[in-house]
């Protein structure tokens, strides 16, 4: 198997404004199965999930208000990888 997984970030949507605690949800599929999905905030590994649904609850108060990048990487059981990224705006101001 040399085909990378199919990967989509389901929520949040790119370009959206978020605050407080949000759930990042990804959908990953592959014929050989998915071994793990990694969630990165601004290129820093934040969480790993190996069971569906692939989710990470992120407290957006851990970063400054402004634009941030969420990247999700999926690994299949054959060692192939796929990556998807979105930019979101964090706004926790009162």
Q: Please indicate, yes or no, if residue 79 is contained in any of the structural domains.
A: yes
Q: Please indicate, yes or no, if residue 80 is contained in any of the structural domains.
A: yes
Rounded to whole angstroms, the Cα distance separating 37 from 30 reads 12
Quick one: pLDDT at residue 93? 86
List, for residues 60-84, the tens digit of each pLDDT value.
999 999 999 999 999 999 999 999 9
Question: In this structure, what token pair is assigned to residue 16?
Answer: 């959206």
Range of the domain at 72: 6-89
Number of domains in the chain: 1
pLDDT band at 1 (very low <50, low <70, confident <90, very high): confident
List, for residues 47-60, the tens digit of each pLDDT value.
999 999 999 999 99
Question: In this structure, what token pair is assigned to residue 30?
Answer: 């592959």
Quick one: pLDDT at residue 94? 65
Q: Please indicate, yes or no, if residue 11 is contained in any of the structural domains.
A: yes
What pTM was computed for the model?
0.95
């Amino acid at each position: 198997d040399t085909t990378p997984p199919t990967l989509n970030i389901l929520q949040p949507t790119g370009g959206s404004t978020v605050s407080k605690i949000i759930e990042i949800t990804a959908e990953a599929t592959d014929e050989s199965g998915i071994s793990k999905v990694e969630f990165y905030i601004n290129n820093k590994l934040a969480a790993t999930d190996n069971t569906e649904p692939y989710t990470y609850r992120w407290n957006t108060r851990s970063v400054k208000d402004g634009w941030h990048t969420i990247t999700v990487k999926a690994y299949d059981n054959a060692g192939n990888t796929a990556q998807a990224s979105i930019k979101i705006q964090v706004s926790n101001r009162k």
